[in-house]
Amino acid sequence: MTEKMVKLTIDDQEVEAPEGTLIVNAAKMIGNDIPVFCYHPKMEPVGMCRMCLVEIGRPVKDRQTGEWVREEDGSLQIQFGPKLETACTTPISEGMVVRGNSKKALAGRKDILEFLLTSHPLDCPICDKGGECPLQNLTMAFGPGQSRFLVDEKYHLGKHVPLGELIILDRERCIQCARCTRFQDEIVDDHVIGFFQRGRGLEIVTFSDPGFDSYFSGNTTDICPVGALTTIDFRFEARPWELMVGASICPHCPVGCNTSLNTRREARAQGDVVIKRVMPRQNEKVNEIWICDKGRFAYHFAQSGDRLVQPMVRRDGELIPTTWTDALNTAAEGFKASSTGPNAGKDVLAIGSGRLSNEDLYNLQRFSTGLGGRSVLYTSMGGGDLVAQVGVGQGTNFSDMGPGTTILVAACDLQEEAPIWFLRVKQAVDRGANLVVVNPRTTKLEKYASQVVRYAYGAEAQTILGMVNTLSAKRPDLGEAAPAASRDGRINEAAQSVSRAENLVIIYGSEGTGLESSQALAQACANLL
C-alpha cells in the first residue's frame, strides 16, 4: 500500500512527508532541527517540556460549503492558532504552515528555557554532561543571556543519589522530561524507575530492590538531555572533549552491538591510551541506538593487571616471561616435533576464530595442513556450519519484522544470552510478530509469547523435531524421541503456530546445551526451517 503524502510549509520551505508524520520529523527532513527535550524518536511523544513550541497555521474551510477559503490571489487562506503548539505531538496536515523561527516562537522557546532554568543548579563546570548536554547547547542557542533568579531562591534537591550500582542521579538537574522512565517502560518493559512527588519537587525514584534493576539502565544516561542521570563508572573521569572516539563492536555476545570506545592517554596508566567509556553507535539493523549494561560497563578487563601483555613460555612447569623471538622459536620447535615421527601431524590442531580476517584464516589453514595436521573454525562448531548454510541472510533486519513473522526462540534465555535481541524481539512482537518460546525453564521473554513449550533439560532437539514431525508426514529419519514429543499438545500448537508464518526466524541458544547437543539442536532447527 502506498503512503498518502502531505504537503506543508515549514519556515518558508515546502516539505512533502507521509501522512501522520510529526511536525518535528517533517522539519528534520529539510534539515530544520526544531529543539526538543522530552521528544525522542524511539519513544511515543508526550509533549511534556514544551521546548518545541511553534506557530501553526491551517487552511480555513467554509463551514457552510465545506470549500477551502481562498485569498484574493487564489492561495489558501491560513489561520494561525492564538497559542504556540508542540511540534513533537502535532501531525502534519495538508496545506499546514509552520513557523519555528518567528518572533513569537523564539520568545516561547526563550521563556521555556528560562522556566526550566529557574531551579537548575547551572553547575555545568562540574557536570559530567557538560560539553555534550542538550540543555547547555539549547540555552546557548535560544536561552536568555541572564537569569532573573537568584541562586539562593532556587529549589534545591539531592545531588548525589545512587539509583543503583551503576547509575547516579543529580535530582536538581532533572528537567522532568520522562525520557528515562519512558525508556524503561516502553522500550525495556522494566518498570523500575518513576516519578515521585509533584511540581518542582518532582523526583526520579527507583522502586526495585536492588535499585534500578535493569540490564539496560546505562541507556538512560545517553538519552537524559541533562546531567541528571550519569554513570557511576564515568563520573568525574574525563571531559567529553578530551576523549578520542574509535568505532568498535561489542565482544560480549552474538549481537555484536556497534559501539564507540572513548579513550585518552592517562598518567595513571603510565601514559597509555585507556578506555574511559563505551557508548552505543547507531546501527538500525543491529542495535539501533542501545547497548546493554554488560556491553557498556564490562570493559575494565582491558586494563586488568592479569592481562597477558608479553610472551611467556612454560619451562619446568612455570610460565616465564620472555622475548618474542624466544617464544616463537619455542613454539616452532614444538610444532616441528609434532610433525615428524610415526604420529606426524596427528597432534597438530589449529582452532581459528570466525573473527579473523580471510587472509589470517588462510595462513592458519596452510600452516596446520603443511604440518600434516588440521584446522577447525570454532564458529562452525555447535551448529555454526548450519547457520551459515540456512541461517538468516545479509540484510535481515529486526525492524522489518511484524505481522506475518513468527520468531521461535529455542533453548535460550534471550535477555541473558543476547540482551539487545531480547529488546528487538519484544519490539517485533509489539509490532504484531508472533513469538514462540521453547525452553526448559521460565524466562522473561515468555511474557510476550503466544505459545510456550517446556521440556526436560537435554530434550531440546527432540522437542523441535517433535514440531517437525507434527507438521510433516511420518519421518522415520527424525529419531526415536520425536514421535513421543510430537504427542505433546503444546508442541502441536506451537508447530501449528510456526506453520502459519509467512516468515520464520529461529533463534537457538545454549540453555543447558554443550557442543554435541547444540549441533543436534541446530540440525533440528534447520529441519524445521
Interface residue list for ligand SF4 (CB under 6 A): 174-180, 204, 224-226, 228-229, 250, 252-253, 255-257, 287, 291-292, 294-295, 418-420
Residue pair 23/10 in contact by the 8 Å Cβ criterion = yes
Q: Taking the alpha carbons of 287, 216, 243, 270 in that order, is the dihedral positive or negative?
A: negative
Q: Which is nearer to ligand FES, 33 or 242 (CB)?
A: 33
292 binds, among ligand SF4, ligand FES, none (CB under 5 to 8 A by kind): ligand SF4
Question: By three-state DSSP, how is residue 244 classified?
Answer: strand
Residue 226, interface with ligand FES (CB under 6 A)?
no
Q: Which is nearer to ligand FES, 43 or 327 (CB)?
A: 43
Q: How far is the CB of 418 from ligand SF4 (least distance, A)?
A: 6
Q: Which is nearer to ligand SF4, 56 or 414 (CB)?
A: 414
The residue among 507, 360, 366 whose CA lies nearest residue 428 is 507
List the interface residues with ligand FES, window 22-51 (CB under 6 A).
36-39, 47-51
Q: How far is the C-alpha of 301 from the C-alpha of 293, rounded, in Å?
A: 15
Q: How far is the CB of 294 from ligand SF4 (least distance, A)?
A: 4
Q: How far is the CB of 143 from ligand FES (least distance, A)?
A: 15
Q: How far is the CB of 223 from ligand FES (least distance, A)?
A: 13
* Out of 32, 86, 220, 519, the residue judged to bind ligand FES by CB under 6 A: 86
- The pair phi, psi for residue 258, each rounded to 5°, is -80, 130
Residue pair 176/200 in contact by the 8 Å Cβ criterion = no
Q: How far is the CB of 212 from ligand FES (least distance, A)?
A: 24
179 binds, among ligand SF4, ligand FES, none (CB under 5 to 8 A by kind): ligand SF4
36 binds, among ligand FES, ligand SF4, none (CB under 5 to 8 A by kind): ligand FES
176 binds, among ligand FES, ligand SF4, none (CB under 5 to 8 A by kind): ligand SF4
Q: How far is the C-alpha of 166 from the C-alpha of 219, rounded, in Å?
A: 11
419 binds, among ligand SF4, ligand FES, none (CB under 5 to 8 A by kind): ligand SF4
Q: How far is the CB of 324 from ligand SF4 (least distance, A)?
A: 32
Q: What's 307's DSSP letter?
A: S
User: Which element (helix H / strand E) includes 249?
Assistant: strand 244-249
Query: Long-range contacts for 523-527 (Cβ within 8 Å, ≥24 apart)?
Result: 523/383, 523/386, 523/461, 524/460, 524/461, 524/462, 524/464, 524/465, 524/468, 525/383, 525/386, 525/408, 525/410, 525/464, 526/386, 526/389, 526/390, 527/464, 527/465, 527/468, 527/478
Q: How far is the CB of 120 from ligand FES (least distance, A)?
A: 16
Q: Which is nearer to ligand SF4, 287 or 451 (CB)?
A: 287
The residue among 182, 190, 186, 130 whose CA lies nearest residue 164 is 190
The residues, any chain, with a CB within 8 Å of residue 241's CB and separated by 6 or more, are: 131
Q: How far is the C-alpha of 152 from the C-alpha of 175, rounded, in Å?
A: 19
In single-letter form, the type of residue at position 79 comes to Q
Q: Which is nearer to ligand FES, 176 or 230 (CB)?
A: 176
What does the CA dihedral 270, 271, 277, 282 come to, rounded to 10 degrees?
A: -150
96 binds, among ligand SF4, ligand FES, none (CB under 5 to 8 A by kind): none
48 binds, among ligand FES, ligand SF4, none (CB under 5 to 8 A by kind): ligand FES
Q: How far is the C-alpha of 293 from the C-alpha of 252, rounded, in Å?
A: 11
Q: Which is nearer to ligand FES, 48 or 135 (CB)?
A: 48
Judging by beta carbons within 10 Å of its beta carbon (0-12, 13-18, 19+), is residue 31 exposed, middle or buried? exposed
Instruction: Locate all alpha helices (DSSP H) within 74-123, ordered by sequence.
Output: 103-117
Residue 56, interface with ligand FES (CB under 6 A)?
no
* Out of 8, 10, 88, 127, the residue judged to bind ligand FES by CB under 6 A: 88
Q: How far is the C-alpha of 487 from the C-alpha of 81, rounded, in Å?
A: 66
The residues, any chain, with a CB within 8 Å of residue 103's CB and separated by 6 or more, are: none
Residue 176, interface with ligand FES (CB under 6 A)?
no
Residue pair 136/117 in contact by the 8 Å Cβ criterion = no
256 binds, among ligand SF4, ligand FES, none (CB under 5 to 8 A by kind): ligand SF4
Q: Which is nearer to ligand SF4, 104 or 294 (CB)?
A: 294
345 binds, among ligand FES, ligand SF4, none (CB under 5 to 8 A by kind): none
Q: Which is nearer to ligand FES, 86 or 119 (CB)?
A: 86
178 binds, among ligand FES, ligand SF4, none (CB under 5 to 8 A by kind): ligand SF4
Q: How far is the CB of 227 from ligand SF4 (least distance, A)?
A: 8
Which residues contribute to the site for ligand FES (CB under 6 A)? 36-39, 47-52, 86, 88
